[in-house]
Structure 1
Amino acid sequence: MYSYSGRILHIDLSSKETSVQTVSEEFLKKYLGGVGLASKLLYDNIKPGIDPLSPENVLTFSASAFGGTIVPVGTKHGIASKSPLTGFLGDSLSSSYWSQTIKRAGYDGIVIKGKSEDLIYLFIDDDDVHFKNAKHLAGLGCFETEEAIRDEIGDQNVRVCTIGLAGENLVKFACISKFYIQSTSVFFSKYTFLITFHSPCNCYTSTHSIHSIKVT
């Protein structure tokens, strides 16, 4: 499926359970990735009228269609949620390693729902998702948190997506570290501090498929 894996990771913070949704190539071609796929995953997993800071809201991440490939500026990724600031769709499109990281873990997107009883962070190690205690991270800034997590895991190359003090205090326009989006308070409303990836596997990418793309 070209650069797609056809897999969406679902994480339920309330039950501490995960599942993988298989999606078709037609579905992925329709929504492509990035904000398109992130918004579609939000639409499919949210109910009308919910409070943005309630456990019923979801936070979605999606790699771009060319995430993890050699295509220039292909490192886009999208994040979407119901915004606590506007009560409408809050989405963000950004460039960084995050798109490649999602792809290398073997997914096209991630859906996070529910709310943890205790303050945690998510550690995604390929197919394994770990719910780890994050009480010791409370009150730290973004850079301090990233440094603490890398030291704790013992790997300076892990990719970290985290919130800062604004998100921890549920400020409605707070930002996720390195990505501007009005959903950081949604992140912490789920009592979740950050997502950490360790994903050394190769991306699901066909170089032949990339070479076959023609620009007219």
Structure 2
Amino acid sequence: MQDTIANSSASPSEQNSDTGRFLRETGLAADVAAVVEPVLEDLGFRLVRVKIQGDGRDRTVQLMAERPDGSINVDDCEAISKALSPVLDVNDPVSGAYRLEVSSPGIDRPLVRPSDFEDWSGHEAKIELNEAIDGRKRFKGVLEGFEDGEVRIKTDTGEHGVQHLGLPVHLISDAKLVLTDELIREALQRAKERHSNRPGDGAELDEDDLED
């Protein structure tokens, strides 16, 4: 089951929002997202993605979250899990037993908001559309930001060489950063900067701060 698709029914203002997700879950994952998203916001986090894997006793609810600055650590994940478990029990969007897993988006993260394409401009990404453009649904290239409802990307089209394209955000069914040495260095640098900006914190950077 594919849990995440483009929310083509969203209004242009919603699709162009810097903070709103243009990728939305469907089915059971959407039911879970509707329950957890407001709780996360109250805790100071934002939802990245919900996925449901397995069925029956092997069912797992996977939830990716982050702070608005893109950070999250192990303690945050534990706090989110403790806050969400009773809420999910009461609302019961998932029948039967399941495991709840809360994690960071990871370095090669999904891109689910227009602001993600701005934040990670200059890095490689893979983008898949739910409708073909010039016979293609899959694109890989360097992000060049977001403008006028389109993701800007520099990509090698093969026959027509390198081109700068605009992909309508409402056609995107999946988007993800490509793990490269440059991306790892950038993610580490951002984690160090966040760490150094914490007031009154003189401790050295630890693994939790690099989790995103």
- What's the TM-score once normalised by structure 1's chain length? 0.26
Higher helix share: 2
- What's the TM-score once normalised by structure 2's chain length? 0.26
Which structure has the bigger radius of gyration? 2
Higher strand share: 2
